[in-house]
Amino acid sequence: MIHKAALYHLKKYAFTHFDPDVVKVFLSIAKSKGLSTEDDVGIPLERLKEGMKLRRSLYTQSGRFLLPYDTVLTNDIIMKLKRFAKTNPIKGEIYVTQEI
């Protein structure tokens, strides 16, 4: 999963921190080596299910860290997130892998 996080950050900062042409070549090489370079797809909090795994770290809109990427969601975690989000909304959609 470290590879996916690195690829995500390379793409995210391609125009601000890294030369976009170099990033494009690097992503092409990564794809040829079998690493996924596809963009993540996010879902709303209401669609989370037990067994899903976070593809990105989770933060509130105010920037408070909630969960690290690679966390496997349990029903208990999902219930706590829903309760917490009532007073501290989660920033954007939640990016997860398919259910396991």
22-66 residue pLDDT tens = 988 888 887 777 666 555 568 999 999 999 999 889 999 999 999
What's the pLDDT tens digit per position in 72-99?
Answer: 999 999 999 999 999 999 988 898 886 4
Residue 17 counted as domain residue: yes
Q: 49 and 28: one domain?
A: no
Tokens of 66: 């909630």
Domain that holds residue 66: 42-95
CA distance 69 to 85: 18
Q: The pTM is what?
A: 0.59
**Residue positions counted in the chain:** 100
CA distance 80 to 87: 12
Residue 100 counted as domain residue: no
Please check whether residue 44 is in contact with residue 52, taking contact to mean a CB–CB distance below 8 angstroms. Answer: no
First vs last C-alpha separation in the chain: 15
Tokens of 59: 């933060």
